[in-house]
């Protein structure tokens, strides 16, 4: 498959049904919603619009699978299935990448790069499947009494996924479920449902039993029904802070376990002793990659005052060279944002920034002209003269918009970097090891990248502080989020 593959050959049919209990099924209501290509406006598919009744069906299928043959599989058997799934995902990656490019608008050159990470995630979790263990614990009760713990799957998991990395999120949410022996009902974002459905089919092909992985497509009401469902044991959500707060509220009556990875307003801090040849392009990529639609994007750039003017001049010149355009063009670096609503939201932030006195240094408008008018393209945008109290400095924009600041001292920039309700990612650029360690200790965020940005690995935890959420994904910490710990006491007297 290549960039010239016809859309109709990538999407097997215009009508896309849900996958529940191992079968493709329409919504009980018969309703459907459209998913369209944000680069062209072209209709991709009419997708089953699941509601509360469909959520009930999916949760029931997941509950039945939880107590079926899946529950009796040995860890090595689950591991073998996951390794087959990793192979299948890699073998079909061109199709999965194309689906995400068409549905999200991300450049095909970018979505194809996700192949290595997807395979690595599945193989990492496959390895974890055989490492789950309890402990033998000493106790001080009278008599001859043994005590130990068992680790058991938490049960039926609801995964509610965002639209900014569809296939990546499907893999990331499914890995710990399969490793621990849980079952899953996944609700992909309505903007980007296609690759999740194809991934679920690959799960079946790999040998995952019917009902272990279910996909309910739909709008916000389907996600709300899933969050509140009394037979769901855990919710794993990635998305906006506002929606995350609603999910936590919905989970409270039944005391569901919840992990949420939410928004960010991440600082990217450049000291005067940094390697500018590396820091300049990295600062651009930290905010403009995926058209800025990354929760941990480095949207607040702090540059030490002695190099501020030089750095900003170089950053603007570098950013001018970033190619915005057709996601199927291999030379494209930034595609459209996901929808008209998202485009209008981003443009409103840009307009408001100028109204508050920020100075546009680059971009600041929708791209227009041949090849752009039918899509939702926004120019890479950089603002200078931004103050910490401005709206663009405080709120998550989720678009290709950078706010730049100058600073003088470590103490000053630490205070300002932490003066946010978010705490997901952060970057530090310096050649001084003491500065790097001090900043790593002082920044209140789940990830601190030093002389790099957006590094991820299956074995390293990722998650947030403050309003960026709680719980961790990746690493052994992720597996623990899907396990219950049971204490066992045996009186030998």
Whose structure tokens read 């949207």? 299
Give the rounded distance of the alpha carbon of 286 from its chain centre: 15
Catalytic residue, chosen from 261, 379, 473, 481, is: 261
Structure tokens at 371: 């090849």
CB 473 within 8 A of CB 261: yes
* Helical ranges in 213-258 per DSSP H: 220-228, 241-251
Task: Please spell the DSSP secondary structure of 159-207, one letter per residue.
Answer: EE--SSSHHHHHHHHHHHHHHHT-EEEEE--TTS-HHHHHHHHHHHHHT
Rg (the chain; Cα; Å): 23
What does the alpha-carbon distance between residue 137 and residue 34 come to, in Å, rounded to a whole number? 55
Annotated active-site residue 182? The verdict is: no
What does the alpha-carbon distance between residue 196 and residue 148 come to, in Å, rounded to a whole number? 39
The residue length of the chain stands at 493
CB 242 within 8 A of CB 422: no
Q: What is the largest CA-CA distance in the chain?
A: 84
DSSP letter (8 states) at residue 209: P
Structure tokens at 75: 């860890």
Catalytic residue, chosen from 95, 295, 379, 481, is: 295
Strand 267-270 to 427-429 pairing? parallel
Annotated active-site residue 90? The verdict is: no
Half-sphere exposure of 53 (CA within 13 A, CB side): 9
What amino acid positions are annotated as catalytic residues?
A: 261, 295
């Amino acid at each position: 498959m290549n960039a010239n593959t016809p859309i109709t050959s990538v999407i097997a049919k215009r009508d896309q049904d849900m996958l529940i209990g191992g079968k493709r099924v329409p919504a009980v209501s018969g309703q459907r919603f459209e998913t369209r290509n944000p680069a062209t406006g072209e209709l991709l598919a009419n997708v089953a619009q699941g509601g509360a009744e469909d959520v009930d069906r999916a949760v029931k299928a997941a509950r039945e699978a939880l107590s079926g043959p899946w529950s009796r599989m040995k860890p090595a058997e689950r591991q073998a299935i996951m390794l087959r799934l990793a192979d299948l995902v890699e073998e079909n990656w061109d199709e999965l990448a194309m689906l995400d490019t068409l549905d999200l608008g991300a450049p095909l050159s970018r979505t194809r790069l996700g192949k290595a990470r997807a395979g690595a995630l599945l193989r990492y979790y496959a390895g974890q499947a055989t490492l789950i263990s309890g402990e033998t614990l000493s106790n001080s009760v009278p008599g001859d009494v043994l005590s130990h713990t068992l680790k058991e799957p938490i049960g039926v998991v609801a995964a509610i996924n965002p639209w900014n990395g569809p296939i990546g999120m499907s893999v990331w949410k499914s890995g710990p479920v399969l490793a621990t022996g849980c079952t899953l009902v996944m609700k992909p974002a309505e903007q980007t449902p296609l690759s999740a459905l194809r991934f679920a089919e690959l799960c079946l092909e790999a040998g995952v039993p019917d009902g272990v992985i279910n996909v309910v497509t739909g709008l916000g009401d389907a996600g709300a029904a899933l969050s509140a469902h009394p037979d769901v044991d855990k919710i794993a959500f990635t998305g906006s802070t506002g929606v995350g707060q609603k999910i936590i509220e919905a989970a409270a009556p039944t005391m569901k376990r919840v992990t949420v990875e939410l928004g960010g307003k991440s600082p990217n801090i450049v000291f005067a002793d940094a390697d500018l040849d590396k820091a300049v392009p990295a600062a651009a990529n930290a905010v403009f990659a995926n058209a800025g639609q990354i929760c941990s994007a480095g949207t607040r750039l702090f540059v030490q005052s002695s190099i501020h003017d030089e750095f900003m001049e170089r950053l603007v010149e570098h950013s001018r060279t970033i190619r915005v355009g057709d996601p199927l063009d291999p030379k494209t670096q930034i595609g459209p944002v996901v929808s008209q609503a998202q485009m209008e939201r981003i443009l409103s932030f840009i307009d408001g920034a100028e109204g508050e006195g920020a100075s546009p240094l680059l971009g600041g408008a929708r791209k227009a002209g041949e090849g752009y008018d039918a899509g939702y393209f926004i120019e890479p945008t950089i603002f200078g003269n931004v103050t910490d109290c401005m709206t663009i400095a405080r709120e998550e924009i989720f678009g290709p918009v950078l706010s730049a600041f100058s600073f003088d001292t470590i103490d000053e920039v630490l205070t300002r970097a932490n003066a946010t309700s978010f705490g997901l990612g952060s970057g530090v650029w310096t050649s001084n090891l003491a500065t790097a360690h001090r900043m790593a200790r002082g920044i209140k965020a789940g990830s601190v990248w030093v002389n790099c940005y957006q590094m991820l690995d299956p074995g390293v935890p990722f998650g947030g502080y403050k309003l960026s959420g709680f719980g961790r994904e990746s690493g052994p910490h992720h597996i623990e989020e899907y396990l219950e710990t049971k204490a066992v006491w045996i009186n030998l007297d």
